[in-house]
Amino acid sequence: MSTTYKPFIATAPLVPMTLSSTLLQPEFTTPFALYTVVQLAVFAAASAGWPTVFGRNTRQQGWLLTLMVSALVTVLSLPFVGDVVTEVVDAVWSAVGGAGYSPLERTTVAADGQASLRIPGVFLSFLLMDVVVGSLVYPRHVQLLTGYVHHAVYAGLIIDLMRHRIAFVLCPMGLMELPTFLLALGNVVAPLRAQLHLPFGVCFVVTRLVFHAVLVWRVVRATAGQRFWIYVACTLPLHVWWFRGWLVQRSRMSARRSGSPSPTDGRGDSKEEEVVVDGEPSSAAAPGDSGVRHRAPATDVDVD
Protein backbone atom coordinates (compact mmCIF):
# COMPACT_ATOMS: atom_id res chain seq x y z
CA MET A 1 0.00 0.00 0.00
CA SER A 2 1.34 3.43 -0.93
CA THR A 3 2.43 5.81 1.78
CA THR A 4 3.24 9.49 1.70
CA TYR A 5 6.81 9.94 0.48
CA LYS A 6 9.21 11.14 3.18
CA PRO A 7 12.79 11.91 2.12
CA PHE A 8 15.82 10.45 3.83
CA ILE A 9 17.55 13.09 5.95
CA ALA A 10 20.61 12.16 8.01
CA THR A 11 20.41 13.28 11.62
CA ALA A 12 23.92 12.14 12.57
CA PRO A 13 27.28 11.50 10.86
CA LEU A 14 27.01 8.52 8.54
CA VAL A 15 29.07 5.55 9.79
CA PRO A 16 30.76 3.57 6.98
CA MET A 17 30.60 -0.18 6.47
CA THR A 18 33.80 -2.14 5.90
CA LEU A 19 34.94 -2.42 2.29
CA SER A 20 34.48 -6.20 2.21
CA SER A 21 30.96 -6.09 3.62
CA THR A 22 30.11 -3.35 1.13
CA LEU A 23 31.28 -5.24 -1.94
CA LEU A 24 29.92 -8.62 -0.84
CA GLN A 25 26.30 -7.54 -0.48
CA PRO A 26 24.16 -9.85 -2.68
CA GLU A 27 22.12 -6.83 -3.79
CA PHE A 28 25.34 -5.49 -5.34
CA THR A 29 27.21 -8.62 -6.43
CA THR A 30 24.26 -10.11 -8.32
CA PRO A 31 23.70 -7.23 -10.79
CA PHE A 32 27.48 -6.74 -11.03
CA ALA A 33 28.06 -10.37 -12.05
CA LEU A 34 25.04 -10.61 -14.33
CA TYR A 35 25.81 -7.42 -16.21
CA THR A 36 29.46 -8.42 -16.60
CA VAL A 37 28.34 -11.61 -18.34
CA VAL A 38 25.81 -9.70 -20.47
CA GLN A 39 28.42 -7.16 -21.60
CA LEU A 40 30.95 -9.81 -22.55
CA ALA A 41 28.32 -11.87 -24.40
CA VAL A 42 26.87 -8.93 -26.34
CA PHE A 43 30.29 -7.52 -27.17
CA ALA A 44 31.55 -10.92 -28.37
CA ALA A 45 28.45 -11.49 -30.50
CA ALA A 46 28.56 -7.98 -31.95
CA SER A 47 32.29 -8.19 -32.62
CA ALA A 48 31.83 -11.37 -34.61
CA GLY A 49 29.74 -9.51 -37.17
CA TRP A 50 31.28 -6.08 -36.68
CA PRO A 51 33.63 -6.08 -39.70
CA THR A 52 30.69 -6.89 -41.99
CA VAL A 53 28.53 -4.05 -40.66
CA PHE A 54 31.05 -1.41 -39.67
CA GLY A 55 34.28 -2.48 -41.35
CA ARG A 56 37.32 -2.28 -39.10
CA ASN A 57 36.27 0.88 -37.29
CA THR A 58 37.30 0.04 -33.72
CA ARG A 59 36.38 3.55 -32.64
CA GLN A 60 32.70 2.83 -33.33
CA GLN A 61 33.11 -0.53 -31.66
CA GLY A 62 34.45 1.22 -28.58
CA TRP A 63 31.12 2.95 -28.04
CA LEU A 64 29.09 -0.26 -27.86
CA LEU A 65 29.43 -0.84 -24.10
CA THR A 66 28.70 2.84 -23.47
CA LEU A 67 25.56 2.62 -25.59
CA MET A 68 24.36 -0.38 -23.58
CA VAL A 69 25.04 0.96 -20.10
CA SER A 70 23.70 4.45 -20.77
CA ALA A 71 20.39 3.02 -21.97
CA LEU A 72 20.08 0.60 -19.05
CA VAL A 73 21.10 3.04 -16.32
CA THR A 74 18.75 5.70 -17.66
CA VAL A 75 15.82 3.28 -17.40
CA LEU A 76 16.85 1.97 -13.95
CA SER A 77 17.10 5.54 -12.63
CA LEU A 78 13.48 6.46 -13.37
CA PRO A 79 11.97 5.30 -10.04
CA PHE A 80 14.63 7.32 -8.21
CA VAL A 81 13.92 10.31 -10.42
CA GLY A 82 10.32 9.95 -9.26
CA ASP A 83 11.56 10.27 -5.67
CA VAL A 84 13.41 13.47 -6.56
CA VAL A 85 10.37 14.97 -8.29
CA THR A 86 8.20 14.10 -5.30
CA GLU A 87 10.71 15.61 -2.90
CA VAL A 88 10.93 18.85 -4.90
CA VAL A 89 7.14 19.12 -5.05
CA ASP A 90 6.98 18.52 -1.30
CA ALA A 91 9.56 21.25 -0.67
CA VAL A 92 7.75 23.74 -2.86
CA TRP A 93 4.42 22.78 -1.29
CA SER A 94 5.79 23.43 2.18
CA ALA A 95 7.46 26.68 1.08
CA VAL A 96 4.16 28.13 -0.13
CA GLY A 97 2.39 27.23 3.08
CA GLY A 98 1.00 23.79 2.31
CA ALA A 99 0.14 21.67 5.32
CA GLY A 100 2.51 18.73 5.78
CA TYR A 101 3.53 16.79 2.72
CA SER A 102 2.04 17.39 -0.70
CA PRO A 103 -0.72 15.14 -2.04
CA LEU A 104 1.78 13.02 -3.99
CA GLU A 105 1.32 9.52 -2.63
CA ARG A 106 4.06 6.98 -3.37
CA THR A 107 6.45 4.59 -1.71
CA THR A 108 10.07 5.72 -1.87
CA VAL A 109 12.52 3.38 -3.57
CA ALA A 110 15.40 5.02 -1.72
CA ALA A 111 14.75 2.80 1.29
CA ASP A 112 14.90 -0.31 -0.90
CA GLY A 113 18.47 -1.56 -0.53
CA GLN A 114 18.19 -3.93 -3.46
CA ALA A 115 17.01 -1.20 -5.82
CA SER A 116 19.57 1.36 -4.66
CA LEU A 117 22.50 -1.05 -5.18
CA ARG A 118 21.38 -2.23 -8.61
CA ILE A 119 22.63 0.84 -10.46
CA PRO A 120 26.04 0.90 -8.72
CA GLY A 121 26.41 -2.81 -9.51
CA VAL A 122 25.69 -2.26 -13.19
CA PHE A 123 27.80 0.87 -13.51
CA LEU A 124 30.83 -0.52 -11.68
CA SER A 125 30.67 -3.58 -13.91
CA PHE A 126 30.70 -1.28 -16.93
CA LEU A 127 33.65 0.74 -15.63
CA LEU A 128 35.65 -2.44 -15.17
CA MET A 129 34.70 -4.05 -18.49
CA ASP A 130 35.17 -0.81 -20.41
CA VAL A 131 38.80 -0.66 -19.31
CA VAL A 132 39.48 -4.39 -19.67
CA VAL A 133 37.84 -4.79 -23.08
CA GLY A 134 39.21 -1.47 -24.30
CA SER A 135 42.75 -2.38 -23.29
CA LEU A 136 42.53 -5.70 -25.13
CA VAL A 137 40.51 -4.79 -28.23
CA TYR A 138 41.03 -1.08 -28.99
CA PRO A 139 43.86 0.12 -26.71
CA ARG A 140 44.68 3.18 -28.83
CA HIS A 141 41.26 4.61 -27.99
CA VAL A 142 41.69 4.24 -24.23
CA GLN A 143 43.39 7.29 -22.77
CA LEU A 144 45.09 7.57 -19.40
CA LEU A 145 43.18 10.51 -17.92
CA THR A 146 39.69 10.07 -19.38
CA GLY A 147 39.91 6.29 -19.33
CA TYR A 148 41.87 4.66 -16.52
CA VAL A 149 42.01 7.62 -14.11
CA HIS A 150 38.43 8.71 -14.75
CA HIS A 151 37.04 5.21 -14.22
CA ALA A 152 39.07 4.63 -11.06
CA VAL A 153 37.88 7.91 -9.52
CA TYR A 154 34.24 7.19 -10.38
CA ALA A 155 34.52 3.70 -8.92
CA GLY A 156 35.99 5.09 -5.69
CA LEU A 157 33.21 7.65 -5.27
CA ILE A 158 30.48 5.07 -5.92
CA ILE A 159 31.95 2.59 -3.46
CA ASP A 160 32.28 5.29 -0.79
CA LEU A 161 28.59 6.15 -1.13
CA MET A 162 27.76 2.46 -0.86
CA ARG A 163 29.91 2.12 2.26
CA HIS A 164 27.91 4.91 3.89
CA ARG A 165 24.59 3.29 2.88
CA ILE A 166 23.49 6.24 0.75
CA ALA A 167 24.00 4.86 -2.74
CA PHE A 168 20.46 6.01 -3.47
CA VAL A 169 21.69 9.61 -3.78
CA LEU A 170 23.68 8.45 -6.81
CA CYS A 171 20.86 6.55 -8.49
CA PRO A 172 18.86 9.50 -9.90
CA MET A 173 22.05 10.62 -11.63
CA GLY A 174 21.48 7.73 -14.01
CA LEU A 175 19.10 10.04 -15.86
CA MET A 176 22.15 12.10 -16.84
CA GLU A 177 23.24 9.15 -18.99
CA LEU A 178 20.47 10.01 -21.49
CA PRO A 179 22.68 12.51 -23.40
CA THR A 180 25.45 9.91 -23.31
CA PHE A 181 23.08 7.39 -24.90
CA LEU A 182 22.40 9.83 -27.75
CA LEU A 183 26.11 10.53 -28.09
CA ALA A 184 26.94 6.82 -28.22
CA LEU A 185 24.10 6.13 -30.65
CA GLY A 186 25.44 8.81 -32.99
CA ASN A 187 28.88 7.22 -32.85
CA VAL A 188 27.70 3.66 -33.44
CA VAL A 189 25.08 4.52 -36.07
CA ALA A 190 26.74 7.26 -38.12
CA PRO A 191 23.69 8.11 -40.33
CA LEU A 192 21.84 9.29 -37.20
CA ARG A 193 24.46 11.83 -36.14
CA ALA A 194 23.02 14.83 -37.94
CA GLN A 195 19.56 14.16 -36.47
CA LEU A 196 20.83 13.80 -32.90
CA HIS A 197 22.60 17.10 -32.25
CA LEU A 198 19.46 19.01 -31.21
CA PRO A 199 18.02 16.22 -29.01
CA PHE A 200 21.46 15.86 -27.44
CA GLY A 201 21.62 19.59 -26.61
CA VAL A 202 18.12 19.65 -25.13
CA CYS A 203 18.73 16.52 -23.05
CA PHE A 204 22.06 17.89 -21.86
CA VAL A 205 20.46 21.10 -20.56
CA VAL A 206 17.57 19.29 -18.87
CA THR A 207 19.57 16.48 -17.27
CA ARG A 208 23.16 17.65 -16.81
CA LEU A 209 22.46 21.25 -15.88
CA VAL A 210 18.94 21.71 -14.45
CA PHE A 211 18.38 18.24 -12.97
CA HIS A 212 21.98 18.07 -11.77
CA ALA A 213 21.55 21.33 -9.83
CA VAL A 214 18.41 19.89 -8.22
CA LEU A 215 20.35 16.78 -7.20
CA VAL A 216 23.04 18.87 -5.51
CA TRP A 217 20.34 20.58 -3.43
CA ARG A 218 18.81 17.23 -2.61
CA VAL A 219 22.06 15.62 -1.41
CA VAL A 220 22.96 18.64 0.73
CA ARG A 221 19.55 18.30 2.33
CA ALA A 222 19.66 14.51 2.71
CA THR A 223 23.14 14.37 4.26
CA ALA A 224 22.84 17.46 6.44
CA GLY A 225 25.71 19.16 4.62
CA GLN A 226 28.19 16.28 5.04
CA ARG A 227 30.91 16.01 2.39
CA PHE A 228 28.91 13.71 0.09
CA TRP A 229 27.31 16.63 -1.73
CA ILE A 230 30.75 17.37 -3.18
CA TYR A 231 30.63 14.02 -5.01
CA VAL A 232 27.50 15.13 -6.82
CA ALA A 233 28.43 18.79 -7.28
CA CYS A 234 32.00 18.44 -8.51
CA THR A 235 31.06 17.65 -12.13
CA LEU A 236 28.40 20.37 -12.48
CA PRO A 237 30.91 23.13 -13.44
CA LEU A 238 32.43 20.70 -15.93
CA HIS A 239 29.01 20.10 -17.48
CA VAL A 240 28.54 23.86 -17.84
CA TRP A 241 31.93 24.08 -19.55
CA TRP A 242 31.13 21.19 -21.91
CA PHE A 243 27.82 22.76 -22.87
CA ARG A 244 29.50 26.08 -23.55
CA GLY A 245 31.93 24.28 -25.86
CA TRP A 246 29.07 22.50 -27.60
CA LEU A 247 27.30 25.82 -28.23
CA VAL A 248 30.49 27.35 -29.63
CA GLN A 249 30.93 24.42 -31.97
CA ARG A 250 27.32 24.52 -33.14
CA SER A 251 27.75 28.24 -33.86
CA ARG A 252 30.88 27.57 -35.89
CA MET A 253 29.24 24.80 -37.87
CA SER A 254 26.21 26.97 -38.57
CA ALA A 255 28.44 29.82 -39.74
CA ARG A 256 30.41 27.43 -41.94
CA ARG A 257 27.24 26.17 -43.62
CA SER A 258 26.00 29.71 -44.25
CA GLY A 259 29.39 30.85 -45.56
CA SER A 260 29.84 33.44 -42.79
CA PRO A 261 33.09 33.85 -40.85
CA SER A 262 33.24 31.34 -38.01
CA PRO A 263 33.14 32.60 -34.42
CA THR A 264 36.57 32.53 -32.80
CA ASP A 265 35.53 32.23 -29.18
CA GLY A 266 37.81 35.17 -28.43
CA ARG A 267 41.01 33.31 -29.31
CA GLY A 268 41.40 34.26 -32.95
CA ASP A 269 41.14 30.66 -34.06
CA SER A 270 38.21 29.72 -36.23
CA LYS A 271 39.43 26.20 -36.85
CA GLU A 272 36.93 23.44 -36.11
CA GLU A 273 38.11 21.83 -32.89
CA GLU A 274 37.21 18.93 -30.69
CA VAL A 275 34.94 19.80 -27.81
CA VAL A 276 34.69 17.48 -24.86
CA VAL A 277 31.02 17.02 -24.12
CA ASP A 278 31.02 13.92 -22.02
CA GLY A 279 33.89 13.01 -19.79
CA GLU A 280 32.78 9.87 -18.22
CA PRO A 281 33.48 6.30 -19.13
CA SER A 282 36.19 5.55 -21.52
CA SER A 283 36.84 3.28 -24.38
CA ALA A 284 35.85 5.07 -27.46
CA ALA A 285 36.17 8.67 -26.73
CA ALA A 286 34.50 9.60 -23.67
CA PRO A 287 28.53 12.31 -16.07
CA GLY A 288 27.56 13.85 -15.54
CA ASP A 289 27.76 12.29 -15.88
CA SER A 290 27.89 8.71 -18.01
CA GLY A 291 32.34 4.83 -22.22
CA VAL A 292 35.86 4.89 -21.87
CA ARG A 293 33.78 7.78 -23.15
CA HIS A 294 37.19 9.27 -23.11
CA ARG A 295 37.18 12.29 -25.15
CA ALA A 296 33.87 12.61 -26.82
CA PRO A 297 34.10 15.23 -29.51
CA ALA A 298 30.76 16.88 -30.10
CA THR A 299 31.46 16.39 -33.80
CA ASP A 300 30.99 12.67 -33.28
CA VAL A 301 27.30 13.29 -32.88
CA ASP A 302 26.78 16.20 -35.16
CA VAL A 303 28.98 15.77 -38.17
CA ASP A 304 29.49 12.95 -40.62
Helix (H, G, I), strand (E, B) or coil at 297: strand
Residue 206 in this model has a pLDDT that exceeds 60: yes
Q: What pLDDT shows up at residue 4?
A: 52
Residue 68: predicted pLDDT: 95
| pLDDT(220) > 60 | yes
Q: What share of the chain is helix, strand, coil (3-state, %, to 5)?
A: 65, 0, 30
Sign of CA dihedral 165, 169, 175, 177: negative
Structure confidence at residue 297 (pLDDT): 34
Q: Among 22-26, 105-109, 185-189, whose mean pLDDT is lowest?
A: 105-109
CA-to-CA distance for 211 and 290, rounded, in angstroms? 14
In this structure, of 162-166, 237-241, 299-303, the range with the lowest mean pLDDT score is 299-303
Which pLDDT value is given to residue 197?
A: 86
Q: How confident is the prediction for the chain on average, in pLDDT? A: 77
- Residues 16-56: pLDDT tens digits? 889 999 999 999 999 999 999 999 999 988 888 766 665 56
Q: Determine the pLDDT at residue 125.
A: 97
Cα 185 to chain centroid, rounded: 15
Mean pLDDT confidence for 59-80? 90
Q: 217-227 as b/e, with b when 16 or more CB fall inside 10 Å?
A: bbbbbbbeebe
